[in-house]
Structure formats: structure tokens, C-alpha cells
Amino acid sequence: MYNLIICCNIVKKNFGDFLYLSDMKIIISESQLGHIMGGKEYAYHVTRRGNVKGIMSKGLIPRVPKDIIGGDVRGVYLFPSVGDVENALYNWLGERIEEWEEENDKEYDEVVLKVDISGLELDIVRNLEWEIICLVRIGPERIVDVFEM
């Protein structure tokens, strides 16, 4: 997933209470751009391959992450881009998966679900730039792809 960077050269002028600055950059993800242009918005969920059959029949059910004690919201945790998934897998999420594998003495065997979140804006929380939390069940019809990283 790539980001689109819009660069604007704005003349710096002072008009009373308004100050216009120069060299503004707006960074928009491919997913956000598609949504802005009237298309679909996608997010990505990491799960174990063994969970896919159940998810494809029941959908993604909001939960509080098992490894977090207190403070987290019940929801379906998603990433806004494939780049955010990669970053998490190479860092904190990869560490959590390794811990799970050691505790359970088996491979986690993760896959990524591409999820259509268009139209769910009222049920979504975006507190962090790399995390989307959907507060309601996401039906299986919204899962458009399953792939490995």
C-alpha cells in the first residue's frame, strides 16, 4: 500500500486573524483516497489461519485483546494499510506472536484479512494512525481477501 503525498505551495500572507503558510503536505493512504473519491475503504486484520473458517461464517466479532489487562476497548482491531501490518509484524505484533508460539508450543500461522469497512464510519474509532477499532461485528461478506505476509 502506498501513500499519496499532495504538496501545495501556499503564499505566506497575513490577513487579520488568518495566516497562510507555505509548503503544506497532506499525506493520504491509498485506502483513504479511495474512500474520499467515493470508492471502498479497506482495512486489514491479522489472525491465525485456523480462525479463517469461523470468521468466514460468523464474521469478525468485537473482543478485548486477551494479552491486554484493562483499558482496551472491545472491538475488531484493524490496520489502515498493508504497510502498517508489516510494521506491526516486524515489531510489537511479531513479538506477541513469538510469545504465543512459545507458550503454546506451536506455530501461530498468521494470515491477513482485507476487510471492506466502507459505511462503518459511525462504528469506528481511530485513536492512533496505525490502528482502527470497529466497535460492531463485521460480517463475513466484508472480507474480500485472505493472504500471507
What's the mean per-residue pLDDT of the chain?
Answer: 81
Dihedral pair phi/psi, residue 104, rounded to 5°: -100, -5
Percent of the chain's residues with pLDDT above 70: 71
pLDDT at 65: 80
What integer is the mean pLDDT of 22-49? 69
Pick from 83, 82, 62: nearest CA to 133: 62
- The answer, yes or no, to whether residue 23 has pLDDT greater than 90, is no
pLDDT at 19: 47
Q: Could you report the per-residue pLDDT of 44-68, keeping only the tens digit for each?
A: 999 999 999 999 999 999 998 876 5
Residues 6 or more apart whose Cβ sits within 8 Å of residue 57: 140
110-116 and 124-128 strand pairing: unpaired
Residues 6 or more apart whose Cβ sits within 8 Å of residue 96: 67
Does residue 129 or residue 10 have the better pLDDT? 129
Distance CA 41, CA 69 (A): 31
- The answer, yes or no, to whether residue 93 has pLDDT greater than 50, is yes
- DSSP per residue, 17-62: TEEEPS-EEEEEEHHHHHHHTTS--EEEEEEEGGGHHHHHHH-BPP
